[in-house]
Amino acid sequence: MAGKRVLITGASSGVGAALARRMAAQGAVVGLIARRSQRLAEVLADCRTTSSASTMWVADLAETVTVGQLALEAWDTLGGIDVLVNNAAIPKRRAVTALDPAEVETVMRTNFFAPMRLTLAVLPRMLEHGASTIVNVASVGGRLGIIHEAAYCASKFALCGWSESMAVDLHGTGVSVKLIQPGPVDTEIWDQPGNEEPLYSGPKVPAQEVADGIIAALGSDRFEHYLPDMKAVVDAKNAGIDAYIAGAAAMARR
């Protein structure tokens, strides 16, 4: 990572904060984007102990009209972007029968439209620069329909499809795409106002473990990376989608 210029969204906590600290410690210059200025400033202070040129922008990525300009400003400030990490996301745990369309659109703006706009803003410059990487942090919920998470899963399914098609379009251009599929990670996403209590109560991996997996993915030839490795669960769903839906519905009724 030494000398790489990295832009990370959702960098004030969780995976984004852990990744920023890890990359800065390895010599990367990191640009941080998040909504919460005080929390973001604390992460930036840690990063600057090993990467003094690192910087931050306070922004709400749900305000998608301004996202493209923010990306270009970050490019100019950092002197380029070698790695764009689209990590910011918000949850929405609510049964589909209780969802309001505006809630779904808010989730889509943050979880899908913001990464799309950030990417399209800097992509022409990345293609000129070459040897660049776009990292999209999706979720196992981008491959599995999760109980009471229709809005969240819709946004992550969209990000997965976008990433896969983009990887095809950009193949051989020098701009690579990495799709990260975190499973249950121990972050604040489990305890957010305006969400139902999660039905999942099993083990969660530390955010630092996912951050290390993302850094490892940058040195890999593979497109898709499950952190932790839950690909077998997705494969089982794809092999028997009707059985998966029936089983998941039964869990919701318990």
- Tell me, rounded to whole angstroms, the distance of Cα 125 from its chain centroid: 21
Q: Does the annotation count 152 as an active-site position?
A: yes
Task: Give the residue carrying structure tokens 């992460």.
Answer: 43
All residues at 6 or more sequence positions from 235 whose CB lies less than 8 Å from its CB, including other chains: none
Q: Are strands 5-9 and 29-34 parallel, antiparallel or unpaired?
A: parallel
Q: Which of 152, 200, 226, 244 is catalytic?
A: 152
CA–CA distance, 127 with 115 (Å, rounded to integer): 17
Beta strands in the chain (DSSP E): 5-9, 29-34, 55-58, 83-86, 132-137, 175-182, 185-186, 205-206, 224-227
All residues at 6 or more sequence positions from 158 whose CB lies less than 8 Å from its CB, including other chains: 108, 111, 112
Q: What angle do CA 104, 205, 4 make, to 5 degrees?
A: 80
All residues at 6 or more sequence positions from 83 whose CB lies less than 8 Å from its CB, including other chains: 4, 5, 6, 7, 28, 132, 133, 134, 135, 218
Helices 207-218 and 14-25 meet at what angle, rounded to 10?
50
Active-site positions read 152
